[in-house]
Amino acid sequence: MRSTRIALVRHGRASAGWDTALDPELDELGRAQALEVAQKLVSNFGETEIRVISSPLMRCQQTAKPFAKLVGADVRICSEVAEIPSPLGIEMSDRVDWLRKIMQGKWSDLDQNYVDFKNQIIEFVSAIERDTVVFSHFIAINAVIGSLTNDDRLVIRSLDNCSITVLERDAA
């Protein structure tokens, strides 16, 4: 029995920043990045049966679409791999400052709802039992990396747009 491979792909470049739009689409570069990462993923995974999962946010769905089309798969939308939520009541213009501040710290420094967010992503990815490509977000992917490396920091790796982080689990 062979191992299970899971690719965590950060979305392509968005047309707007976190401080100006709740759910921006990809910009022109982001669309080009999505096409490029689709080809890389096909090179890594082939065109065999593979599950494609995306965050509900438009930039992830648009990044997932070219790959799903190449492999003939449907994109399954899963809130478990969504973006870290900003605090209730925070102004849109203050979101980037909030995010930059928490990115300097650890999950254990945050409120329980953020620890729950992290745990939800980890549990979801841990339950994947077949080759899967997950299109998600910077903090969400870092949460998985941190769990696997026993590192409580929010940011473990600097992940470029359309970066691919591959996890491999040996068959039990």
Q: What is the pLDDT of residues 118-148, one digit of tens each?
A: 999 999 999 999 999 999 999 999 999 999 9
Domain ranges for the chain, please list them. 14-31+38-62+73-169
pLDDT for the residue 92: 86
Instruction: Write down the CATH number for the domain with range 14-31+38-62+73-169.
Output: 3.40.50.1240
Tokens read off for 105 = 């710290």
Confidence of residue 170 (pLDDT cuts 50, 70, 90): confident
Q: What is the DSSP letter of 53?
A: E
pLDDT for the residue 48: 74
- pLDDT, one tens digit per residue, over 41-72 is 999 888 778 999 999 999 999 999 999 999 99
pLDDT for the residue 142: 98
Tokens read off for 27 = 């910009």
Confidence of residue 149 (pLDDT cuts 50, 70, 90): very high
Q: Rounded CA gap, 70 and 11, in Å?
A: 17
pLDDT higher than 70, residue 87: yes
Listed residue (78, 8, 58) closest to 37, CA to CA: 8
Q: Rounded CA gap, 150 and 144, in Å?
A: 10
Q: What is the mean pLDDT of residues 4-15?
A: 97
Confidence of residue 172 (pLDDT cuts 50, 70, 90): low
- The answer to whether the beta carbons of residues 14 and 60 sit under 8 Å apart is no
E strand or H helix that includes residue 2: none
Q: What is the mean pLDDT of residues 110-122?
A: 97
DSSP assignment string, 119-166: HHHHHHHHT--S-EEEEE-HHHHHHHHHHHHT--BS-SS---TT-EEE
pLDDT for the residue 27: 98
Chain-centre distance of CA 110, in angstroms?
A: 20
Confidence of residue 4 (pLDDT cuts 50, 70, 90): very high
Q: How many CB atoms lie within 10 A of CB 129?
A: 11
Helix extents (H) in 46-110:
58-71, 95-103
Of 114-118, 152-156, 167-171, the poorest mean pLDDT is in: 167-171
Tokens read off for 48 = 């065999």
Summary mean pLDDT of the chain: 95
Identity (one letter) of the amino acid at 115? V
pLDDT for the residue 125: 98
β-strand partners of 132: 6, 51
β-strand partners of 165: 8
